[in-house]
Amino acid sequence: MRRQQRRGGLLGATCLALTLVAACTSGGTGDGAGAAATRQSPTTGATATATSGTAAGELPRPDHVMVVVFENEDAADVVDSAEAPYLTSLSTSGAAFTDAHGETHPSQPNYLALFSGSTQGVTDDRCPQKLTGDNLASQLLATGQTFVGYSEDLPRAGYTGCSAGDYRRKHNPWVNFTGLPASVNQPFSALPTDYAQLPTVSFVVPNMCHDMHDCDVATGDTWAKNHLDRYVTWAKDHNSLLIVTFDEDSGTADNHIATIVVGAPVRATTSTQRINHYDVLRTLEDMYGLEPLGHAADAHPITGVWLP
């Protein structure tokens, strides 16, 4: 769990909580009403509008999706914050979402929800967990597609220890599923420099400092710029996506997090539609023709932010 006292000196400003736009919310997390919102493109000046109700069949099918998960920050402390100029810039060039939410507290159950459609009965950060059943990686592999999770400071491929340096297994859900091959569990240093060699879906988890858990927002934002910007530029020209999200907020009941989607099929827009981790998982599953898992079956794919 995060440190008990929040860091002093944060220059949090009024902020948009960024989240992937859903046609309506998953069960139990909201009323599903998603008022349309508009955003002016910083490059073209054109205004895009996010609307609800787009059919699931209208989702794009990206060649690659990279999901990057940061930690334990309120949405207002990230987007439009002086400490996060890079993530704020992504929010204006892609789809920004003002009503995104984590599932619970502390960290580990949120990662499991995003990866498998269920918290798997896990209520804390205890390590190790040994889980069975389907998950996003097993689904992709079973259909001839690919998945790799890249964790910063993971000492070697297939490592199953609970910690090493600033790596923590509680932020690595794929290592907990005993049916997955060790090859899906890779250090961040193994991320291909030729992005065309990326798997269909990849998850990237920064270490305990760079994910903003133990260090400040500015440190995480600088890491994001240094390690994600080249992929963002490439993705826009290669039918690929970046999803930036958070596992949970600072510990509130509302669990209001920031989420941003940017890439080739995404318009510059803001939406107030309410979504959570299960909606994000459902979006990925629908993009690649996978059966929705667990609570993702009751969720809805993100729509209304995609270019025709």
Q: Among residues of the chain, what percentage have pLDDT more than 90? A: 79
Per-residue pLDDT tens for 109-139? 999 999 999 999 999 999 999 999 999 999 9
How confident is the model over 9-15, as a mean pLDDT? 36
Asked if pLDDT for residue 298 goes beyond 50, the answer is yes
Coil vs helix vs strand at 242: strand
pLDDT at residue 50 above 70? Answer: no
Q: Looking at residues 287-308, what average pLDDT do you find?
A: 95
State the pLDDT at residue 5: 40
Q: For the chain, how long is the longest CA-to-CA vector?
A: 50
pTM comes to 0.83
pLDDT exceeds cutoff 50 at 8: no
- Has residue 147 got a pLDDT over 60? yes
Look at residue 6 in the predicted model and tell me its pLDDT: 41
How would you label 92-104 residue by residue, b for 16+ Cβ within 10 Å and e otherwise? bbbbbbbbbbbbb
- Are the CB atoms for 38 and 286 separated by under 8 Å? no
Specify the pLDDT at position 258. Answer: 97
Omega prior to 106 cis, within 30 of 0 = yes
Round to whole Å and give the CA distance between 90 and 84. 10
pLDDT at 273: 85
Q: What is the pLDDT of residue 1?
A: 44
CATH numbers and ranges of domains, the chain = 37-298 (3.40.720.10)
Query: How do residues 169-215 score in pLDDT, each as one tens digit?
Result: 999 999 999 999 999 999 999 999 999 999 999 999 999 999 999 99
Least confident of 30-39, 178-187, 246-255: 30-39
What is the rounded CA–CA span in Å between residue 260 and residue 250? 18
| CA torsion angle 85 91 97 98 (round to 10) | 30
Mean pLDDT (whole number) for 34-63: 49
Per-residue model confidence as pLDDT tens digits over 53-106: 334 448 999 999 999 999 999 999 999 999 999 999 999 999 999 999 999 999
Cα–Cα distance measured from residue 68 to residue 206, given in angstroms and rounded to the nearest whole number: 8
pLDDT at 41 over 70: no
Residue 262, pLDDT above cutoff 60 = yes
Q: How far apart are CA 197 and CA 176, in angstroms?
A: 25
Range 34-61 average pLDDT: 45
Cis geometry, peptide bond prior to residue 128 (ω within 30 degrees of 0): yes
Share of the chain above pLDDT 70, in %: 81
**Do residues 206 and 223 lie in contact, with contact meaning Cβ atoms separated by under 8 Å?**
yes
Average pLDDT of the residues of the chain = 86
Quick one: which of 258, 264, 259 has its CA closest to 302? Answer: 259
Contacts of 56 (CB under 8 A, 6+ apart): 286, 300, 301, 303
Q: What radius of gyration do the chain's Cα atoms show?
A: 17
